[in-house]
Structure 1
Amino acid sequence: MTLISYAQNAEDVLLWRALGHIKNGFYIDAGANDPVDHSVTKAFYDAGWHGINIEPLPGPHAALLAQRPRDINLALAAGAGDGRLTLFDIPAVNGWASPAPEVAEAHRAAGFAVAELTVLVRTLAGICAEHVQGAIHFLKIDVEGFEAEVLRGMDLKRWRPWIMLIEATRPGSRESNHQGWEPLVLAHGYRLAWFDGLNRYYVADEHAELQAALSVQPNVFDDFISHHLAHAMAATEEARAARARAEAQAALALAQAEEQVAQAGAQAAQAARERDEARQRAADAVAASRESSILSNVMFRKFDEVCVRVQLAQEAKLAAEAELAALRESTLGAQTEIKLLRDTALAAQADAAQAREAHVKAHQDGLRALMWAHELEHKLVGIEGSRMWRLNASLRLLGDGAPLRRAALRLSANQRLRRLLLPVLLRFPRLGRRVAASLAAIRMQTPPGALAPALVPDELRELPVSARAVLADLQRQRGA
């Protein structure tokens, strides 16, 4: 598989040639800077490696945190001891930040602006003691003239990177500066394997077999391309694909245009036919319009007639509704009169029923009075013909006749009883003469206020007052 190189001088190609056979290796990058541009570790990270990135500048450190989640990303500088130092940054040039004051002065002398910031410092030995748990396959140091301080803070007896890659020229120059720090490396069992014009490669004695892989510069047999070229090739391929898509779309558009031209021709012919047909329809419409005008006049006249008929019908309807309302009022009046007549008829029927009851009762009273008269006359005839009656005639004239007189007066005062007895007395003239003579004599002998009310037994309450009075007189006579 083709290796994509991100390092500025193909350092990752040489390291991959020596260490690419190791799966999930471990690295330490002192002065890591950007996680992509000029990165020695990017290709290894993409291949599954991980490690420690030491970067004191805030911007690159934030990018490392975002793009290297498997790595340990430390916002500090490596040095000979723990503490703080002043870092001199060159904002115009990425990767030129250095803790060395003489380097900052050189950049100022060249006309570059220099920014100062204070950062934490830790030794590589302390960082390894805290974070390293296995082999360190390579250590890369790029600190712009501060290499000796970094190496003084590393315990190469305890921590043995297989390969050390150290920048060995002054910043922005081909002039080598390794003389001041290389003895610190060689004295701890490392030997120089390669110098690429910028960096010096050292191999630990215990891994001397790796030195042969570092003895030749990167070349065609390493099967690599720079990520800039890869990006350009990808962009070119994308451009080719876009061009192919555009050409395909253009061909499709041309075919569609030709089809549309053909359709337009067919539509033009169709439009011509439709135009001729429209002209014929227009002529027909003119003729039809004339006929329609005639028919319209006829229809208007008929419409006027219908309107008149509708008006008459509406007037007739209103008149019928008024007549219906009057009829309803008349019906209501008739219903009221019928109800009054019904009520009157019911009252008359009730009065007639009462009259019939009174007539029946009067008839019954008359029959009882007739029977009583017959019995009374029979009794009177018997009494008058008796010997005792004749013997007591003088005594009766001397005795108190008040009860008999009161009875006679009551009988003669009762209009209803007189109406009942009058026909009886007419049928019996003898009895009538005697009753009349007796009543005359009684009226002459009866003083005013002689008629006093008397208690009537319950069994005689149904008899007329006159009959009860006569019966009482007879009973007194019998008792005498």
Structure 2
Amino acid sequence: MMGQLKRFILSILNYIRHKKSYSQDGEDVALLGFYEGVKHYKGFYVDIGAHHPVRFSNTHLFYKLGWRGINIDPTPGSMKAFRFWRLRDINLEIGIGAQNDTLKFFCFNDPALNTFDAQVAQQRNTGKPYKVIREVEIPIRPLIDVLIEHLPKGQVIDFISIDVEGLDLEVLQSNDWQKWSPKFVLVEDHEFQIEQLEKSKIYVFLKSQGYRISAVLKRTIIYQKIVN
């Protein structure tokens, strides 16, 4: 399995070099490779920790191809840009978590680093070059509740992208995987090691939900639903 993964990573990197990417590490182009040969397909995504409609976006490339979806980010004011650039999308300025609650949100001088995770915030708050510039209380909701309220009736989710800087597992656990089981899940995972997969709580959780690894990027793992 390790040899297959490494060969696949090399093929993905070669593919990315020849395509225009908006993601931080080529996640969008890597995922698009799975849709090669499927002409004019316009799917649906859910982007949690969307950050910006273009910068570091895992969904902007798909939006340009006619896709649409739901963008979610708790950063105050973040949805102003989404409402301008993503007219077809549903844009929500909220946090996602295990239960309805209010959490302290750490805002950095680079919004891509914003996080609910106090430990991650402390590690990054070095002042060189990144620092926390404010702390705000933000309401959070489970993903299941947000999808019940905002997902169009009968809509199939093609992929979910999760990048919430530290609480990605909690976001995954807040979904109803029996009701919404997208073909692909993109998730940032700092515990992930190819040689020791079981050390990753995210890997263990998604495996239990019927997913396997399909691609490994620098920070993000792409999981694919196993179809029996």
**Alignment TM-score, normalising by the size of structure 2:** 0.81
Q: Could you tell me which residue of structure 2 aligns to residue 34 of structure 1?
A: 52
Q: Which residue of 52, 65, 68 maps to 1:47?
A: 65
Q: Which residue of 84, 96, 100 maps to 1:78?
A: 96
SS of the residue 2:20 aligns to:
strand
Q: Which residue of 108, 111, 115 maps to 2:125?
A: 108
Which residue identity does 1:138 align to in structure 2?
Answer: F
Q: Is 1:17 the counterpart of 2:38 in the alignment?
A: no
Q: Could you tell me which residue of structure 2 aligns to residue 98 of structure 1?
A: 115
Which residue identity does 2:146 align to in structure 1?
Answer: I
1:405-445: CA deviation from partner (whole Å, max 9, x where unpaired)? xxxxxxxxxxxxxxxxxxxxxxxxxxxxxxxxxxxxxxxxx
Q: Could you tell me which residue of structure 1 aligns to residue 78 of structure 2?
A: 60
| C-alpha distance in 2 between matches for 1:110 and 1:150 | 28
* Unaligned residue ranges in structure 1 (runs of 5+): 171-175, 209-480
* Unaligned residue ranges in structure 2 (runs of 5+): 1-17, 192-196
Does the CA-based 8 Å contact 1:169-1:177 persist in structure 2? no
Q: Which has the higher strand share?
A: 2
Does the CA-based 8 Å contact 1:77-1:121 persist in structure 2? yes
Q: Which residue of 108, 123, 126 maps to 2:142?
A: 123
Does the CA-based 8 Å contact 2:26-2:217 persist in structure 1? no
Q: Which runs of 4+ in 1 moved over 4 A?
A: none
Q: Which has the higher helix share?
A: 1
Higher relative contact order (Cα pairs below 8 Å, separated by 6+ residues): 2
| C-alpha distance in 2 between matches for 1:177 and 1:103 | 22
Q: Could you tell me which residue of structure 1 aligns to residue 211 of structure 2?
A: 190
Q: Could you tell me which residue of structure 2 aligns to residue 166 of structure 1?
A: 187
Q: Could you tell me which residue of structure 1 aligns to residue 178 of structure 2?
A: 157
Q: Could you tell me which residue of structure 2 aligns to residue 254 of structure 1?
A: none
1:167-218: CA deviation from partner (whole Å, max 9, x where unpaired)? 1127xxxxx9971332221101111112112111111112x8xxxxxxxxxx
Q: Is 1:199 the counterpart of 2:220 in the alignment?
A: yes
| 1:200–1:159 CA distance, 2 compared to 1 (3 A) | same
| C-alpha distance in 1 between matches for 2:205 and 2:176 | 11
| C-alpha distance in 2 between matches for 1:179 and 1:107 | 21
Which residue identity does 2:76 align to in structure 1?
Answer: P
| C-alpha distance in 1 between matches for 2:215 and 2:150 | 29
Percent identical pairs in the alignment equals 33
Does the CA-based 8 Å contact 2:78-2:93 persist in structure 1? no
- Shift of residue 157, structure 1, vs aligned partner: 1.5
| C-alpha distance in 2 between matches for 1:152 and 1:15 | 23
| C-alpha distance in 2 between matches for 1:80 and 1:181 | 15
| C-alpha distance in 2 between matches for 1:179 and 1:109 | 26
- Shift of residue 59, structure 1, vs aligned partner: 3.3
SS of the residue 1:5 aligns to:
coil
Q: Which residue of 156, 159, 165 maps to 1:138?
A: 159
| C-alpha distance in 2 between matches for 1:85 and 1:135 | 30
Which residue identity does 2:81 align to in structure 1?
Answer: A
| C-alpha distance in 2 between matches for 1:30 and 1:127 | 11
- Shift of residue 110, structure 1, vs aligned partner: 5.6
Which residue identity does 2:32 align to in structure 1?
Answer: W
Which is higher, the Rg of structure 1 or of structure 2?
A: 1
Does the CA-based 8 Å contact 1:79-1:122 persist in structure 2? yes
| C-alpha distance in 2 between matches for 1:178 and 1:147 | 15
| C-alpha distance in 1 between matches for 2:102 and 2:35 | 35
| C-alpha distance in 2 between matches for 1:50 and 1:74 | 14
- Shift of residue 3, structure 1, vs aligned partner: 5.1
Does the CA-based 8 Å contact 1:168-1:177 persist in structure 2? no
SS of the residue 1:24 aligns to:
coil
- Shift of residue 109, structure 1, vs aligned partner: 4.2
- Shift of residue 24, structure 1, vs aligned partner: 1.8
**Alignment TM-score, normalising by the size of structure 1:** 0.40
| C-alpha distance in 2 between matches for 1:177 and 1:8 | 26
Q: Could you tell me which residue of structure 2 aligns to residue 401 of structure 1?
A: none
Does the CA-based 8 Å contact 2:188-2:221 persist in structure 1? yes
